[in-house]
Amino acid sequence: MTIVRLGYVAMSMELQNCSPSQTMTFSQFSKLKDREAAIKKLERIAISNIENCIRLLKHNNASEIHFFRLSSRLVPLANHDELSDWDFMQAIRGPLSQMADYIAEHPSRIDFHPDHFVVLNSPVSDILKISLKTLRMHELLLKGMGIDIEHRCVLHVGGGYNDKEKALEQFIHNWGFIKPEIQRMVMLENDDTTFTLKETLYLCEKLGIPMVFDYHHHKANHETDDWEDDWGRVVETWNNSTLPLKMHISSPRSEKEFRAHSDYVNPEFFLDFLSNVKGSVPEIYCMIEAKQKDAALFRLMEDLTGKEGIEKIDGSSFKLI
Partner DNA sequence: GCCAGTCAAGTCCCG
Partner DNA sequence: CGGGACTTGACTGGC
Where does this chain bind DNA (CB under 7 A)?
Answer: 10-11, 19, 21-29, 45, 80, 115-117, 119, 122, 124, 127, 130, 158-162, 193-194, 259-261, 291
Compare residues 296 and 304 and give the one whose CB is closer to DNA: 296
For residue 311, give the H/E element and its range. Answer: strand 310-314
Give the ranges where the chain is alpha helix by DSSP (H).
26-31, 35-62, 88-91, 93-105, 125-144, 164-175, 180-183, 197-207, 215-220, 228-237, 267-277, 293-304
What HEC string does 183-202 produce?
HCCEEEECCCCCCCHHHHHH
In the bound complex, what is the minimum distance in angstroms from residue 134's beta carbon to DNA?
9
In the bound complex, what is the minimum distance in angstroms from residue 122's beta carbon to DNA?
4
CA atoms within 13 A on the CB side of 236: 12
In the bound complex, what is the minimum distance in angstroms from residue 20's beta carbon to DNA?
7
What are the φ/ψ torsions at residue 111 (nearest 5 degrees)? -145, -175
Compare residues 53 and 304 and give the one whose CB is closer to DNA: 53
Compare residues 60 and 317 and give the one whose CB is closer to DNA: 60
In the bound complex, what is the minimum distance in angstroms from residue 8's beta carbon to DNA?
11
Compare residues 160 and 267 and give the one whose CB is closer to DNA: 160
Q: How far is CA 4 from the centre of its chain?
A: 17
Q: What distance in Å separates the CA atoms of residue 114 and residue 72, rounded to the nearest whole number? A: 6
Compare residues 95 and 158 and give the one whose CB is closer to DNA: 158
In the bound complex, what is the minimum distance in angstroms from residue 160's beta carbon to DNA?
3
